[in-house]
Amino acid sequence: MSVETINKIAVIGAGNMGGGIAQEFASHGYAVTLIEIDPQNLAKAIESIKTNIQLLIDNDLSPVENVDSVLENIETSTDLQEAVTDVDIVIEAVFEDLDLKRNIFADLDKYCASHTILATNSSVMVPSMLADATQRPEKVIGAHYFYPPFLMPLVEIVKGPQTSAKTANVLNEILTKIGKTPIVMQKEVIGFIANRLEGAFMREAITLVDKGIVSAQDIDTVMKNSIGLRLPTVGPFELYDIQGWDLIAMAAPFLLGDLDTSQDFPEMMKEKLAKGEIGAKAGQGFYSWDQNKIDAVNEKIMVSLIKIAKWRQ
């Protein structure tokens, strides 16, 4: 199978990720079937897709000029077997339940054509955890999108030990064709790339707060007014090349040995979890939250992503 022969895509799961993934392929002319066991979730997904497409159109970020031209490329279905019999790529985007995903991949292996690529959008499960539920491990691969998928360009393509180079190349080419910025991981690793980098930052940030060195609010201020401002423009290896690795090497012995290497949350975090202070959805984390504040932060994120997307054009 080549990119030129791909016509139909199926997306399993009609949440924010699945709906956004379906939207992108449909916006670029592919026939997409969005699959979900709950018809109400499918209806909600279509409404969200309408809103998201219009947002992109209003900001000159859409490859289409009207919402209907995208919606006419999207079918919905509650019948997995019927929906995937003639598709070329399936992207699974259900919640992170290993047994559920393995059952889905086993069913896909039975129902899909022999050439069909089976991809998972999981942010934590590597392809080898799903591949042996099928008879086609060479066609099982990770396709890790980021929220919101219709604005975040990156997709981490994760090769399992048995994933073929052809499978990875086809997925890489079609994602590039629809305007994504994919990277291909040659080996699978838990957390992939972005989540591992973010995890390292999270651990150090929590440690600095736990030790009383700085407040959580000041950590956010530091990120938003220094490192975060550079990240849309330059990556760490570009930046350190410019600064010079000789200077980095001089500073490293002082810094690296003092960074946190713990394998567990600090007691401070365990205490917050025990008190139910789990963040915005509980009304309290390191900040106090209500729906207005949540909406304001989400809007700020969306506006910023739109500005960055327009700047990248």
Average pLDDT along the chain, 313 residues, taken 10 residues at a time? 92 96 97 97 97 96 94 97 97 96 98 98 96 98 97 97 97 97 95 94 95 97 95 93 95 93 90 96 97 96 94 87
Secondary structure class of 74 (helix, strand, coil)? strand
CA nearest neighbour of 87 among 62, 125, 64, 119: 119
- Beta strand ranges found along the chain (DSSP E): 8-12, 31-35, 74-77, 89-92, 117-120, 140-145, 154-159, 181-185
* Domain range summary for the chain, segments of one domain joined by +: 3-185, 193-264, 276-313
CATH number belonging to the domain at 3-185, selected among 3.40.920.10, 3.40.50.720, 2.130.10.10, 3.40.190.10: 3.40.50.720
Pairing of strands 140-145, 154-159: antiparallel
Place of tokens 């019927």: 82
- pLDDT at site 312: 86
Q: Please tell me the distance from the alpha carbon of residue 76 to that of residue 92, in angstroms, as a whole number.
A: 15
Query: Which residues are marked as active site?
Result: 123, 144, 156, 195
Neighbours of 60 (CB within 10 A): 10
- pLDDT at site 300: 95
Q: Rounded to two decimals, what is the model's pTM?
A: 0.93
CATH number of the structural domain 193-264: 1.10.1040.10
- pLDDT at site 99: 97
Structure tokens at 264: 């567990």
Q: Please tell me the distance from the alpha carbon of residue 120 to that of residue 94, in angstroms, as a whole number.
A: 9
Q: Please tell me the distance from the alpha carbon of residue 69 to that of residue 59, in angstroms, as a whole number.
A: 17
Burial of 131 (0-12, 13-18, 19+ CB in 10 A): buried
